[in-house]
Amino acid sequence: MSPSSPSPAKPELVCPAGSLRALKLAVDAGADAVYLGLRNATNARNFAGLNFDEAQLREGIAYAHARGRQVLMALNTYARADAVPTWQQAVDAAAGLGADALIVGDIAVLAYAARTHPQLRLHLSVQASASSYEAIAFYRRHYGIQRAVLPRVLTLAQVGQVLRHTEVDIEVFGFGSLCVMVEGRCALSSYVTGQSPNNAGVCSPPAAVRWQESPQGVDARLSGVLIDRYAPDEPRGYPTLCKGRFEVNGRRDYAIEEPTSLNTLALLPELIALGVRAIKIEGRQRSPAYVEQVTRVWRQAIDAAVAAPERYQVEPAWTTTLAHLAEGQQHTLGAYDRPWR
């Protein structure tokens, strides 16, 4: 950046809340905004025991607002043809309870929200797969979206290209699980289980997972399909199907993606300089303690990167905390920096 250009705005830290407890801990640890969903298929983390009923939503919004923070409601699955009113009612509930914005992927839900609640702020969900500024312009023009969450497949240079050509605020993923496929356009899980993440809000659903002892070790199956086979002493991961080990031309390995997760702490000054307006932490399915610790690290990092970008460096203590939380998984910079390009 040239010295005369205005210093870029401080990006918001947007943290996940799968429960009221996670919401409160995230707010207390310094989240600028918390995102959450209802207890049904209208959001993309539809797991048993997770998410908010109306009373919890009311309490969570009051808690955040009393401390000057925002609550963003994820309504980011696609309305099923036979159940569109369920998604419309979720929009109405969010508006009625005073959510600060809706995170929406389905054009049918966007249209309903824009027409029924024109005052309600709309964020384009990563599930809408808007991977170019032209796609973002479409949603801006027709539904007035004020922010877009970019798919995790873009490089840093491509993120910059989007930012130079859009007036819409841009949010990117900073930390958490990594989808190697473009979000919202992946039918792998429904190919195996019959449940579409786009409609049901869950990929590689726990109910379809079976662990079986076999002579070769332990098999992890998803609806009967062998996703991975572990030696008896090998650490085991959740069998998300794109992160399994398969055979191609007689060679068995992680043929689609290594089971890594995303950590962009090292890129933070660059993301801020590009003009990214919000950094999203993935993990509504994670524990409140996880959310609290990740939020605390990222609060410190963003504050440090904005206060003195030239002196910014990733603190060893941050790395230690985050590595501990990643449960043995390697962290990568994802597509932002692609050594495989």
Partner 1 sequence: MEMTRTAPLRPAGPAEPDSRASLGSKYTDKEEGNDILTQNPDRIALNVGPLLYFWPRETLLHFYATVADSPADSVTLGEVVCERRRELRPADWLALARELRSAGKEVVLASQALIASEADLRLLRRVAEQDEFMVEAGDVSAVQLLSSAARRFVLGPHINVYSRAALQEYQRVGAARWVAPVELALQAVAEVNAGGAPLPTEVFAHGRLPLAFSARCFTARHHRLSKDHCEFRCRDDADGLLLSTSDGAPFLVLNGIQTQSAAQQCLIAEGAALRAAGVTRLRLSPVSQGFDTVIAQFEAVMNQGADAAAALQRLRELALPGGLANGFARGAAGMAWEAAAC
Binding to partner 1 in span 255-274, by CB under 8 A: 255-257
Q: Residue 39 contacts by C-beta under 8 Å, 6 or more apart in sequence?
A: 50, 51, 52, 53
Cα–chain center distance at 275: 19
Q: Taking contact as CB under 8 A, which single stretch among the options 184-192, 259-267, 292-300, 302-310 is the one that binds partner 1?
A: 184-192
**Residue 306 in contact with residue 279, Cβ under 8 Å?**
no
314 in contact with partner 1 (CB under 8 A)? no
CA atoms of 14 and 140, how far apart (whole Å): 21
Q: Per-residue x/- mask for partner 1, residues 208 to 247, rule CB under 8 A? A: ---------------x-xxxxx------------x--xxx
Bin 43: left if φ > 0, else alpha if -120 < ψ < 50, else beta. beta
Q: Residue 169 contacts by C-beta under 8 Å, 6 or more apart in sequence?
A: 146, 147, 148, 277, 278
333 in contact with partner 1 (CB under 8 A)? no
26 in contact with partner 1 (CB under 8 A)? no
- Measured from the CB of residue 6, what is the shortest distance to partner 1 in angstroms? 23
Q: Taking contact as CB under 8 A, which single stretch among the options 1-9, 34-42, 180-188, 314-322 is the one that binds partner 1?
A: 180-188
Q: Per-residue x/- mask for partner 1, residues 100 to 139, rule CB under 8 A? A: -----xxxx--xx-xx--x---x-----xxxxx-xx-xxx
- Measured from the CB of residue 222, what is the shortest distance to partner 1 in angstroms? 10
Q: Taking contact as CB under 8 A, which single stretch among the options 46-54, 64-72, 96-104, 154-162 is the one that binds partner 1?
A: 154-162
**182 or 306: CB nearest partner 1:** 182
CA atoms of 252 and 118, how far apart (whole Å): 53
180 in contact with partner 1 (CB under 8 A)? yes
CA atoms of 194 and 46, how far apart (whole Å): 16
